[in-house]
């Protein structure tokens, strides 16, 4: 395993593994025994960065979520896991009532919700401090300053370490960070967005935003990350839910771009040259380059996790990376 530092303040920054494990379906669609086996293998391989959310996985059983955090709490206690494992969670997109969704009934990002939701997450996870807490989706019904101050209060109290944002417009992230900086408060340092080797169309209207999908890495966001190298990008769904390799998982319309066939061919070419799988080449591409990301991978079996773990040691040559980067 390899590691990198996220965050800048010595009091809150953490060293984490360059591959993050997503626990979205642990405790719901993925049963407890399988979830434990995946978590145990990840830690055995040197993994230290686990991702969850307070609303995972409400859609499986029509609940409000919390199953993933609860399972991670049980696993931590049963294994004696302590501060050596960084667990990131999110708030803001938990449905306020069973049978509803974050699309029509999200808890939002008021100061009150931030405090109460963070406390519930700490209880479920069995931790005194949340290592990394994200604003899961935007909440434009609440003044941004209130959200910024609400998160900062928890950092000041020591119950939250690093702050992050997911599925936000780049201008909203910058505005929040500017408000925090002007007030001398901690701001977002980790950004979690969808990124993969195949670019996705962010102009298509989404359920979250009629102006397009805010959760995908856009040119604006990439430009912002290059200008702010202290920020960390965590890339979710890098393997497109199996679409790179599984015929029963076709690419969605968001990836239906003229460049897709050529980029897929380049991926297969490089995979053949390295003896790696296409999925491993995708992860290696994300891990390296001039704007490295931390891939956030899911797994429903130990075998799936093993494939992703092997990508950490895959070194693409400069020529291979150039070929992948310039194929359009």
pTM of the model: 0.97
Q: Has residue 95 been placed in a domain?
A: yes
For the stretch 195-204, pLDDT in tens is: 999 999 988 8
pLDDT of 289 reads: 85
**Is residue 325 situated within a structural domain?**
no
Domain that holds residue 161: 3-256+277-317
pLDDT at 324 over 90: yes
Partnered with residue 50 across adjacent β-strands are 21, 87
Answer whether the bond into residue 38 is a cis peptide, omega within 30°: no
The average confidence (pLDDT) of the chain is 97
- For 272-314, the pLDDT digits (tens) are 999 999 999 999 999 998 899 999 999 999 999 999 999 999 9
231 lies in some domain: yes
Residue 89 in tokens: 């969670």
Residues 6+ apart with CB under 8 A from 245: 277, 278, 279
Residue 326 domain flag: no
When pLDDT is averaged across residues 66-76 and rounded to a whole number, the result is 98
| Predicted pLDDT at 260 | 95
Domain count, the chain: 1
| CATH number (domain holding residue 288) | 3.20.20.100
Decide if 19 is inside a domain: yes
**pLDDT at 120 exceeding the cut of 90:** yes
Q: In sequence order, what are the residues at sequence separation of 6 or more whose Cβ sits closer than 8 angstroms to the Cβ of residue 193?
A: 166, 167, 215, 216, 217, 221, 233, 234, 235, 236
Q: Is residue 272 part of a domain?
A: no
* Chain segment 75-107, per-residue pLDDT in tens: 999 999 999 999 999 999 999 999 999 999 999
d(CA 189, CA 5): 11
């Amino acid at each position: 395993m390899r590691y990198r530092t996220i965050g800048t303040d010595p009091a809150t920054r953490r060293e984490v593994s360059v591959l993050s494990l997503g626990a979205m379906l642990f405790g719901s669609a993925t049963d407890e025994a399988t979830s434990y086996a995946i978590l145990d293998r990840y830690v055995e391989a040197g993994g230290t960065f686990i991702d969850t959310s307070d609303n995972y996985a409400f859609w499986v059983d029509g609940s409000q979520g919390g199953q993933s955090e609860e399972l991670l709490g049980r696993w931590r206690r049963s294994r004696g896991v302590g501060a050596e494992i960084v667990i990131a969670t999110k708030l803001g997109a938990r449905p306020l009532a069973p049978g509803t969704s974050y699309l029509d009934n999200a808890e939002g990002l008021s100061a009150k919700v931030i405090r109460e939701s963070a406390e519930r997450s700490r209880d479920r996870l069995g931790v005194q401090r949340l290592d990394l807490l994200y604003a899961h989706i935007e909440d434009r019904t609440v003044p941004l300053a209130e959200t910024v101050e609400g998160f900062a209060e928890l950092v000041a109290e020591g119950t939250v370490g690093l702050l992050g944002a997911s599925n936000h417009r780049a201008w909203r992230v910058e505005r929040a960070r500017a408000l925090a900086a002007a007030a001398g408060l901690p701001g977002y340092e980790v950004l979690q967005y969808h990124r993969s080797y195949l670019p996705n169309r962010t102009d298509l209207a989404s359920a979250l935003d009629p102006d397009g999908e805010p959760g995908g890495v856009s040119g604006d966001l990439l430009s912002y990350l290059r200008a702010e190298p202290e920020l960390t990008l965590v890339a979710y769904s890098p393997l497109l839910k199996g679409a790179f390799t599984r015929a029963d998982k076709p690419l969605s319309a968001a990836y239906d771009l003229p460049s897709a066939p050529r980029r897929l061919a380049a991926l297969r070419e490089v995979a053949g040259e390295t003896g790696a799988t296409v999925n491993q080449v995708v992860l290696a591409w994300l891990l390296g380059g001039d704007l490295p990301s931390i891939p956030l991978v899911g797994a429903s079996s130990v075998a799936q996790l093993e494939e992703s773990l092997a990508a950490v040691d895959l070194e693409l040559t400069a020529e291979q990376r150039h070929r992948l980067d310039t194929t359009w």
